[in-house]
Amino acid sequence: MSDYSIWVMEYAAVEQFPVDVMLYLHRDMGTRKLPYAFGLLKRADQVIMIDCPYNHADHGKALAESYGVTNWHSPADVLAECGLTPSDVTAVFITHAHFDHIGTMDRFPNATFYIQKRELDQWIWALELGPQFSFLVSAVDPADIMRALELAKQGRLVCIDGDRENVLPGIDVHLSADTHTYGSMYVHIRNDGAANSQDGWVFAGDNIYTYDNLTGLDPEAPQIVPIGLAVGSQNNLMFATDEMLKAVGGEHRRLVPIHEDRLHKVFPSRLTDRGLQVVELALASDEPSRVS
């Protein structure tokens, strides 16, 4: 029996995203749709998000427009598809501090936020470097970092230093340093509560973009193919991917890439009136389906 109901909630998308950013060194392969989404977990006493939408104003909006993002909808609009409001959210895990994963932290008045200490420290360091290093911070909105610091002042930001088990019941986090970002982390949900879970899920953050990162494109020679965007290294990304796969017993469908457009073909799903996918990974016994 699942402890948490789990969904992936799309809130915007890039309709034409370069494949060579999704798959390292795969040149001249055109574009794919890249959904922007967050994870949503629910049980009787908790409503948990894994990442949160970007702030569709000021520099966040400018970044989104530069990447070709369309069809943005607010956290309130998207959560309503599961009968929830931003005030219902009790916790948010920030896998990394790129603008599309952290931007609306101020919309959740009752939530505690969890981020890796290394992630926050290193972005503060990187933001003070000169313009010759602007690539490093090209996907970061400095206002998001300021919002994180304000949450720290309020006692609602928890900086985790490395791996930690049972941050919340059945939920572990793992640092994957110097991969996609300086302090990226992935979230492991042991949805049966067991130490050696047989019902595990991993939200990878942006350490993978697509299932193809797990297998490559040649079915005769499956291999890990890392993403093409990293402030760390593709070497680190590959070993992090291997660790995430081990956490779910090698079952690819349980390693969740929220930017994967094919999620709605792998799991039960529903296209909303706003043109956004609601993807249902698991249901607790007392939770009605949000896609049927």
Q: Residue 89 domain-assigned?
A: yes
> What is the residue-wise DSSP string for 202-251?
EE-TTS-SSTHHHH-S-TTS------S--SS-HHHHHHHHHHHHHHTTT-
Q: At 66, which CATH number?
A: 3.60.15.10
pLDDT band of 2, cuts 50, 70, 90: confident
How do 91-93 and 46-50 pair as beta strands?
Answer: parallel
pLDDT at 4: 98
Distances (CA, A) of 36 to 8, 15, 102, 176, 277: 10, 10, 12, 21, 10
Q: Residue 140 domain-assigned?
A: yes
Give how many domains the chain has, as a whole number.
1
Contact 82, 290 (CB under 8 A): yes
One-letter amino acid for residue 190 of the chain: R
- Does the CA dihedral 96-101-102-106 come out positive or negative? negative
Residue with tokens 């609009």: 77
> What is the residue-wise DSSP string for 47-58?
EEEESB----SH
Residue with tokens 């297998």: 215
Look at residue 283 and tell me whether its pLDDT is greater than 70: yes
Q: Residue 292 domain-assigned?
A: no
- Does the CA dihedral 243-248-249-252 come out positive or negative? negative
Coil, strand, or helix at residue 168? strand
Contact 94, 113 (CB under 8 A): yes
Start-to-end CA distance of the chain, whole Å, equals: 20
Model pTM above 0.85 = yes
pLDDT at 108: 98
The H-or-E segment that residue 272 falls in is none
Q: Residue 290 domain-assigned?
A: no
CA proximity to 279, closest of 8, 41, 79: 8
Containing structural domain, residue 37: 5-282
For residue 85, report the phi and psi dihedrals to the nearest 5 degrees: -125, 165
Q: Residue 287 domain-assigned?
A: no
Those residues with Cβ within 8 angstroms of residue 269's Cβ, 6 or more apart along the chain or in another chain:
263, 277, 278, 279, 280, 291
Q: How many alpha carbons fall within 13 Å on the CB side of residue 174? A: 20
Structure tokens at 25: 């060194």
Q: How far is CA 112 from the centre of its chain?
A: 17
pLDDT digits (tens, 9 = 90+) for 76-89: 999 999 999 999 99
pLDDT digits (tens, 9 = 90+) for 107-165: 999 999 999 999 999 999 999 999 999 999 999 999 999 999 999 999 999 999 999 99
Q: Residue 291 domain-assigned?
A: no
Look at residue 103 and tell me whether its pLDDT is greater than 80: yes
One-letter amino acid for residue 259 of the chain: H
Structure tokens at 241: 């991917």
Residue with tokens 């989104």: 64
pLDDT at 1: 66
Q: Residue 178 domain-assigned?
A: yes
